[in-house]
């Protein structure tokens, strides 16, 4: 007497031949899609040691990005402003504000403010800020409208596919050199002629040196 009907013998073949491969494909597809920087990195917005508002400084006060990020035109690294840069203003403006306690402590102890980095590429990727700025890639293209951010968040995925899409067709992200730090840039008549003629690399050694 058989306990299980004969059709049960087909279950292993059905599972390993149909369900197993289908499940594997779904898992791989889910990991490929949801583990990408579009989901894991975009929106990253850490709490900083000082409640610094880019909306106030870069937006309302219209401070140029280069005042604080001094290396962006001459170096691979844009740089985080030292305490001295902040104190150029805040030794006179809101110098007793409780929001700036960490800044004053940094100034008195000569220890840097421990800002949390937001935009970071893997160590095996070489990225040069100055090379992009010098051909007219605006800050906004990679960092978004920081002039509207109370607290900066990562807005772009900065993935290899995202970078390659720009390298293959950079024109939409190019602007006149005089406008690289302009937030909310809108092309004007004649701007097209002021764009640099660029041919960014799309081969591996362009970014993996």
Full-model pTM: 0.81
d(CA 191, CA 193): 5
- Integer Rg of the chain from CA: 25
* Maximum C-alpha span of the chain: 95
* Backbone angles phi and psi of 16, in degrees to 5: -75, -25
pLDDT tens-place values along the chain, 209 residues long: 567 677 777 777 767 777 777 878 788 877 767 677 787 899 999 999 999 999 999 999 999 999 999 999 999 999 999 999 999 999 999 999 999 999 999 999 999 999 999 999 999 999 999 999 999 999 999 999 999 999 999 999 999 999 999 999 999 999 999 999 999 999 988 888 788 889 999 999 999 98
d(CA 30, CA 35): 8
Which of 74, 174, 77 is closest to 126 using CA atoms?
A: 77
Q: What pLDDT, on the 0 to 100 scale, is given for residue 10?
A: 72
> Angle at Cα 78 formed by Cα 88 and Cα 51, nearest 5°?
55
Distances (CA, A) of 121 to 31, 102, 124: 20, 28, 8
d(CA 176, CA 197): 11
Q: What pLDDT, on the 0 to 100 scale, is given for residue 192?
A: 86
């Amino acid at each position: 007497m058989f306990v299980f009907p004969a059709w049960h013998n087909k279950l292993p073949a059905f599972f390993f031949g149909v369900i197993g491969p289908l499940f594997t494909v779904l898992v791989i597809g889910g990991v490929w899609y949801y583990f990408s920087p579009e989901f894991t990195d975009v929106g990253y917005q850490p709490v900083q040691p000082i409640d610094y508002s880019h909306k106030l400084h870069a937006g309302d006060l219209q401070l140029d990005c280069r005042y604080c990020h001094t290396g962006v035109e001459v170096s691979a690294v844009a740089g985080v402003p030292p305490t001295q840069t902040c104190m150029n203003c805040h030794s006179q403006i809101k110098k007793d504000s409780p929001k700036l306690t960490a800044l004053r402590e940094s100034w008195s102890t000569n220890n840097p403010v421990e800002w949390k980095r937001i935009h970071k590429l893997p160590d095996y990727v070489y990225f040069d800020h100055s090379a992009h700025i010098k051909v007219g890639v605006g800050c906004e293209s990679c960092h978004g409208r920081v002039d509207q951010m109370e607290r900066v968040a990562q807005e772009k995925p900065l993935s290899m596919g995202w970078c390659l899409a720009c390298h293959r067709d950079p024109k939409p992200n190019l602007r006149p050199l005089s406008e690289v730090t302009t937030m909310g840039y809108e092309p004007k008549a004649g701007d097209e002629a002021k764009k640099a003629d660029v041919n960014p690399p799309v081969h591996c050694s362009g970014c993996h040196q």
